[in-house]
Amino acid sequence: MKQLALVIDLNVCVGCHACVTSCKEWNTSGTAGWMADENPYSKDPTGTFFNRVQTFEVGQFPNTETVHFPKSCLHCEDPPCVPVCPTGASYKRESDGIVLVDSEKCIGCSYCSWACPYGARELDEEQKIMKKCTLCVDRIYDETLPEQERKPACVMACPTEARLFGDVNDPQSEVAIAIRESGGYQLMPEWGTKPANHYLPRRKASITIHEDELVRADNPLKKERKLPMPDDKDPTLDEITSW
Amino acid sequence: MSKPIHDPLSKQVDDASRMEVKNTTCYMCACRCGIRVTLRDGEIRYIQGNPDHPLNKGVICAKGSSGIMKQYSPARLTKPLLRKQGSDRGESDFEEISGDRAFEIMSDRLGHLRATDPKKFALFTGRDQMQALTGMFAKQFGTPNYAAHGGFCSVNMAAGMIYTIGGSFWEFGGPDLERAKLFLMIGTAEDHHSNPLKTALSKFKRQGGKFISINPVRTGYSAIADEWIPIRPGTDGALFLALTNEIIKQGLYDREFLTRYSNAPELVNMDEDSSEYGMFVRFEVPHEEGCFEPQNKLWWDRGLDKPISTHTPGADPYFLGEYKLDDGTPVKPSFQLLVDRVKGYTAEWASEITGIPEKTIKRLAHEMGITARDEKIELPIPWTDTWGDEHDTVTGNPVAFHAMRGLAAHSNGFQTIRAMSILMSILGTIDRPGGFRHKAPFPRPIPPCAKPPNDPRAVKPNTPLDGMPLGWPADPDDLFVNDDGSPVRIDKAFSWEYPLSVHGLMHNTITNAWRGDPYTIDTLMLFMANMAWNSSMNTSEVRKMLNDKNEDGEYKIPFIIVADAFQSETVAFADLVLPDTTYLERHDVMSMLDRPISEYEGPVDSVRIPVVPPKGDCKSFNDVIIELASRLELPAFINADGSRKFRDYPDFVVNYETAPGSGIGFLAGWRGKGGEKFMKGEPNPKQWEIYEKNNCVFHYELPRSYQYMRNWNQGYLEWAKRHSLLRYTEPINIHIYSEVLQKFRLAAQGKSDGKQPPDHLRERVETHFDPLPFYSQPLETQQSDLHKYPLNAITQRPMAMYHSWDSQNAWLRQIHTFNFLNVNSKTAREAGIEDGGWMWVESMHGKVRCLCRYSEAVEPGTVWTWNAIGKASGAWGLDGDANEAKQGFLMNHLIAEELPPSADGDHLSNSDPITGQAGWYDVQVRIYPAAEGEPEVSSPQFETAKTLPGQAVDLKRGRWLTYFAGKGGKT
């Protein structure tokens, strides 16, 4: 069955937040909009985002990793947010596996966000409607857009191409290959939610130097040696023989 | 059943009849990506990266995606404002005036200054990219007192590299990550040239390259580095010199490259009694002097064992040794002098200074050297060098570097960057695949041809300045000083205090003008520069100076004009405020005459065209300059009969030529009557329209054989001359040894004729103008009590904010609402400071109360915070109690704009003694917890700024912002 999802490559994500605000600008004026901001120009501003980047440190100095971690709805194959919804507003599409909220049915009770172990849902405090990543469902099937732009806004924006998009259940897709070959993993698989979004881990490159690589016949310093030339008065064969 | 809200087939919100799409160029930062703006009912629906743009190829960043919120920010200024009579600066008591009245006030005042003493008018601009126009305005006005923000940004990077390899990073050149195998990034600002670098980094990593980050802090790009090497701030020079030492010791330098393309084997006069001491020996004096290096130096040939003209076919010079010319002059190849210089700079020595283990330094040197030597790239591209030799291939050594402010913003930065440039050069990586590559119009001759005036008589009433306001001194006689050696410029640029201050010293202008040293001025015009806040060192005192009066009640700086699109902290200190447009409302050019967006493959320039109408009475600063220049009847802006020459800025861009009939103008694309020419050609009245049709960008891709080795590429240099990018086709050899610096040293030693430094500066000039790089502690560090103030304090730039610009942006301010001081957990614990607790950070100049954040991603001797997140209360359209003002803080209060008095002078700038680059990162601090009961608010605090008349407060919608584009929408 088709399951659209994002595969996020933590090996190249630099934490620039392009995905965060490109998502917001597309969706605030779209069918999922608006995405309200509370206290936009005063103390403690907070707003609705479908996608956020968290940055945290791992390890102790100097062996520290700084990890940028983009997080949005993982479009679980077995989404715990769906069965808890009392009105049926929270649903998973059979056609492509996207988990959506029908805003006209949503009563803002927040059961779904409590059920989501990933904290991926955000209640729009102004509209009192639950909101979340739609995988830009209003872009990806829009035939008025050029084909290469039928992607989520975050995927189009990402300067490092850290966000791959496609059908994770199609073994030939870019995302399935990335998961298979680059160690793609799910968040908290033990919860049995079968998140569709995957993450690719950090991969480290290193250079191996062999000691003998420092020893070379063509070392340029050898060109600086003047070849030793005996003085005219130094002994030669002439002193011992006359042939 | 009701319809799901996310109906993929519904086009109800984006009905085609309501939509409009326009291309322009972003300016949420100086990266300047191509953007595509979709409007719905005239309001901005969506800003995306333009997929057909060569710079960003469709991607966009957090700032670019938030352009909507900049456009509709309540910080927008919309009316020209005049400070009310009787009110003080800083109080924001203004009255609205008409645009015409504003121009009358300016032209009366400035007209008088121009007719009497043009240097009483000073124009300093911020992070704009229109220096070609503003510089030209200053020159035409006749004032030398002009600069942009480079002096307090990264002039060391520009100058250190350009005086060495004829090019520099960022707009001028960069790392070729497509071909590199090893990449070293040292202290890079992550809000600059960001998208192309991010894209390249990602590709580089996916290709399996090794990325090493050298930085006291691991954040941003460094997070994905394969190896993080923490380093103590200001010690990078020591590291580069030790790496150079080890690379030479192991014979890992590219001898062939250095022989042909640098001055490494050229013979230097070692006769200490000679006036030519330390200069290259020459076999003849050239017939023609020009802005190029004549090929008249000598090598010592290995075969003949005697001196020979450089580049003689078949000759092979010694790099090491000591020789005697026939006339008895002792000489050494400059490479030998480099070896002598770095001999003491061992890995062990550098380890002590930098905090990097000795074996890491050695390993780094070996990784660089062996990768450069053994992973050679051979591109099958034939090319011909300037000596006429044909090459079948272009060779590359795939070790790339990138660096920026982390190196630049130290007072030892120029020599540090010289050291880095030399390291890059000995690895054979200059304008070669996998290494460093130039972007047009670079490379330039070393130094570039433009010169400041060298005589105070260049400043005359009602006359354009005789010379460029900014330029590149080649020897002491190029300095812009009075007969007694004192500075001509208000910022003391091009004086003996900072001889190679090629971008000026904006950061000292207010202090100097306030003190009247070297003189007082009348009018200070600031554009897009937040000098009353994050752009000034010593912010609190500078704010007082701006408001300080003489005994007669007159302000020490009598008249201040500020042009800005937003209610920045500086606006409050203006006498006259000019509301600028946003980037979405204006025409602009990213010109070849300025800082274009060229690619490695060839020149690129681009334009902005308005996608929405200007708000209120906003006028773009470009148009302000054209209008003012026309009213003042500056010669380049009027016809022979005295009538006005240019209607407005777009008209100026199309029709202006650098000289009548020169064919060189602000835009390089589609010149000639019908747009058939490029780079050079007569004005084309349809130029704007053609740019608009072509994604607002012109990109000329050079033939492949002209894309590399451009310092020495005959084809490229001839092409560049033919298209007026360069005046000469002489090779631009790398200055391993800098004769330019030696000339200043000889002057300081009293050994040369020509201009001499005042006696009190002789030692300073002699010390710092060393023709070979050396390591010394930053000046302020030398004058600091390191026991009392043991820590370094620096700032970093977050990728989602550009300087102070984005706190007015409702979305971006949610990403960085306020800042912490990040302290290594161990260091913080030792100081008794809690994670998340209030603390003090104190330097010898001032102290700041702020919040502490424990971190393992910072070396223990450094504390850091994000730059310019803290704001003055009430500025930038924010409420007085916004987090930016109450929890956010500015490091600037800890940093002085002047060094403590010393034998060299009482009021020397806290800057590099060569270039005048502001030493932002030299400050030494100590930290301690805030006492119990102290207010939980950052310190210092300032009185809440008032909202200005005409400020777009209608956009401040109370508790909720519910943006939905289109007037038929739901807002």
The ipTM assigned to this model is 0.95
Residues B91 and B4 in one domain: no
Contact B961 A37 (CB under 8 A): yes
Structural domain count of chain B: 5
Residue B738, token pair as written in the block: 């800098």
Angle at A176 between CA A170 and CA A182, to 5 degrees: 165
User: How many CB pairs lie under 8 A apart between chains A and B?
Assistant: 280
pLDDT tens digits for range B19-40: 999 999 999 998 999 999 999 9
Minimal Cβ distance to A26: which of B5, B46, B882: B46
Domain endpoint, select from B549, B582, B615: B582
Residues B101 and B238 in one domain: no
Strand partners, B864: B794, B822
Strands (E), B93-226: 94-96, 121-125, 146-147, 173-175, 182-186, 210-214
**B335 in a structural domain:** yes
CATH of the domain at B848: 2.40.40.20
Confidence label for B952 from pLDDT (cuts 50, 70 and 90)? confident
Please give the structure tokens belonging to residue B604.
């690129």
Q: What is the CATH number of the domain that holds B421?
A: 3.40.228.10
Q: B475: pLDDT confidence band, cut at 50, 70 and 90?
A: very high
Q: At residue B6, does pLDDT exceed 80?
A: no
Cβ contacts of B505 within 8 Å, gap of 6 or more: B147, B151, B152, B491, B492, B493, B498, B909, B911, B916, B918
Q: Write out the E strands in B648-761.
A: 697-699
Minimal-distance CA residue of chain B relative to A203: B226
Kindly give, in sequence order, each residue whose CB lies less than 8 Å from that of residue A47, ignoring residues fewer than 6 positions away. A24, A35, A36, A37, A38, A40, B810, B811, B814, B961
Token pair 């070979």 in the structure block, residue: B772
**Domain range for residue B500?**
81-152+454-582
The verdict on B68 touching A (C-beta cutoff 8 Å) is yes
Alpha helices, DSSP H only, in B775-880? Answer: 779-782, 812-815, 825-830
With a cut of 90, say whether residue B718 has pLDDT above it: yes
DSSP for B27-67, please give it.
-SSTT--EEEEEEETTEEEEEEE-TT-TTTTT---HHHHTH
Look up residue B603 and give its two tokens. Answer: 């020149």
- State pLDDT tens for residues B434-449: 999 999 999 999 999 9
Q: Do A61 and B858 touch (CB under 8 A)?
A: yes
pLDDT of residue B193: 75
Range B229-248 average pLDDT: 98
Residue B774 placed within a domain: no
Query: Do B469 and B511 have their domain in common?
Result: yes
pLDDT at A237: 85
The H or E element spanning position A101 is strand A99-101
Evaluate whether residue B767 is within a structural domain: no
User: Half-sphere exposure of B89 toward its Cβ, with a 13 Å CA cutoff?
Assistant: 27
Q: Are residues B597 and B698 in the same domain?
A: yes
B123 shares its domain with B91: yes
Q: Using an 8 Å Cβ cutoff, are A57 and A170 in contact?
A: no
Question: Do B145 and B161 belong together in one domain?
Answer: no
> What tokens does A159 get?
């300067």
Cβ neighbours for A19, distance < 8 A, ≥ 6 positions apart:
A51, A53, A70, A154, A157, A158, A163
- B756 domain-assigned: no
Q: What is the mean pLDDT of residues B374-399?
A: 97
Side chain identity at B928, as an amino acid letter?
Y
Residues B610 and B710 both lie in one domain: yes
A174 vs B: CB within 8 A: no
Query: Residue B672 pLDDT > 50, yes or no?
Result: yes
Does any domain span residue B769?
A: no
Q: Nearest Cβ partner of A17 from B800, B857, B961?
A: B800
Taking Cα atoms as reference points, which of B540, B532, B531 lies closest to residue B940? B540
Q: What is the CATH number of the domain that holds B514?
A: 3.40.50.740
pLDDT reading at B361 higher than 60: yes
At B591-619, the pLDDT tens digits run: 999 999 999 999 999 999 999 999 999 99
> Is residue A80 packed enough to be buried (19+ CB in 10 Å), middle (13-18) or exposed (0-12)?
middle
Residue B367: its chain A contacts at CB < 8 A? 207, 209
Query: Does the residue B766 lie in any domain?
Result: no
Asked whether the beta carbons of residue B2 and residue A102 sit closer than 8 angstroms, the reply is yes
Specify whether B440 is located in the same domain as B458: no
Local structure of residue B110 (DSSP, 8 states): H
From first to last of its 243 residues, chain A has per-residue pLDDT tens of 999 999 999 999 999 999 999 999 999 999 888 999 999 999 999 999 999 999 999 999 999 999 999 999 999 999 999 999 999 999 999 999 999 999 999 999 999 999 999 999 989 999 999 999 999 999 999 999 999 999 999 999 999 999 999 999 999 999 999 999 999 999 999 999 999 999 999 999 999 999 999 999 999 999 998 766 778 888 888 888 877
Question: In what helix (H) or strand (E) does residue B576 lie, and over which residues does it extend?
Answer: strand B576-579
Q: Could you tell me if residue B751 is inside a domain?
A: no
Residues B505 and B620 in one domain: no
The residue from B697, B722, B747 where one domain ends is B722
Query: Scanning every residue of chain B, which has its alpha carbon at the shortest distance from the alpha carbon of A53?
Result: B815
Record the pTM. Answer: 0.97
User: 45-104 in A: which are within 8 Å (CB) of B?
Assistant: 45-47, 49, 55, 57, 59-62, 64-68, 91, 100-104
Which of B:341-370 have CB within 8 Å of A?
Answer: 363, 366-367, 370
Based on the fold, state whether residues B482 and B532 are members of the same structural domain. yes
B287 secondary structure, DSSP code? S
Q: How confident is the model at residue B971 (pLDDT cuts 50, 70, 90)?
A: very low
Residue carrying structure tokens 């103390």: A43
Which of B582, B616, B637 delimits the end of a domain?
Answer: B582
Residues B702 and B610 in one domain: yes
Instruction: Decide: B431 and B708 in contact? Cβ < 8 Å.
Output: yes
Tell me whether residue B790 is exposed, middle or buried, using C-beta atoms within 10 angstroms of its C-beta: 0 to 12, 13 to 18, 19 or more.
middle
Q: Is the peptide bond before B464 cis (omega within 30 degrees of 0)?
A: no
Which of B46, B228, B883 comes nearest A43 by C-beta? B883
Lowest mean pLDDT, pick from B123-132, B536-545, B550-559: B123-132
Let me know whether B400 and B493 are in one domain.
no
Kind of pairing, strands B523-527 and B559-564?
A: parallel
> What domains does chain A contain, in order, with CATH numbers?
4-200 (3.30.70.20)
Instruction: Please tell me the predicted confidence (pLDDT) of residue B463.
Output: 98
Residue B970: its pLDDT value, please? Answer: 41
CB B256 within 8 A of CB B322: no
Residue A204 forms contact with B (CB below 8 Å): yes
Express each pLDDT in B854-874 by its tens digit. 999 999 999 999 999 999 999
Q: Report yes or no on B749 lying in a domain.
A: no
Given a cut of 70, is residue B287 above it in pLDDT? no
Contact B65 A138 (CB under 8 A): no
pLDDT tens profile B290-310 = 788 888 999 999 999 999 999
Q: Are the C-beta atoms of B529 and B126 separated by less than 8 Å?
A: yes
H helices, E strands: number in chain B: 25, 35
